[in-house]
Amino acid sequence: MPDPTDLTDLPIPSINFTLTANALRGFEEYRALFAESFPDNPPEFPSIGWGIYTMDNGIVFENVMVTFYQQAQADEVRPYLRRVQGVDLIYLISPDYHHKLEGAIIDYRTGEGFFLRDPATGAENRLPQDVIDDIRALRAGSASAED
């Protein structure tokens, strides 16, 4: 059985999306959150992928996903770095999902996260509002717990 952490056989997909200025700012906001959560293994490189979410009520939705590879993983993922609009990032995505970002504009809104914009209409493909509300409540709860 292949090792799921072995990246050596992964194809490096072409960059098929653009980032807004808000998305670039979002990387830094996420970097700060990761650094707070993992001070002994800080974030090194942002990673863009495709996420499939299943809500408690059974509704399934898909959207762009941004996370970070941490410092301990940096040497392993460095061969996969891509420079996109001035940012070194990792874009490893299954061919099954690569097309979902074709021509996409990745945007970001503080408190709501990353989402796609339709390149023709500018329409937002965001998380459902109840999920956004839950994220805000969790962040507010963790902020008040720190006070």
- For residue 140, give its domain range: 17-146
Is residue 5 assigned to a domain? no
In this predicted structure, what is the pLDDT of residue 1? Answer: 38
Is residue 55 assigned to a domain? yes
For the chain, 147 residues long, give each residue's pLDDT as a single digit of tens. 334 455 556 667 889 899 999 999 999 999 999 999 999 999 999 999 998 888 777 878 888 999 999 999 999 999 999 999 999 999 988 888 888 898 999 999 998 889 998 888 877 876 667 776 776 777 677 555 555
Is residue 3 assigned to a domain? no
Is residue 1 assigned to a domain? no
Is residue 4 assigned to a domain? no
119-146, pLDDT tens digit by residue?
Answer: 888 778 766 677 767 767 776 775 555 5
pTM for the structure as a whole: 0.76
Is residue 7 assigned to a domain? no
Is residue 11 assigned to a domain? no
Strands (E), 20-135: 43-54, 60-70, 81-84, 87-90, 104-109, 113-117, 124-125
The tally of domains found in the chain comes to 1
Give the domain CATH number at 56.
2.60.300
Is residue 137 assigned to a domain? yes
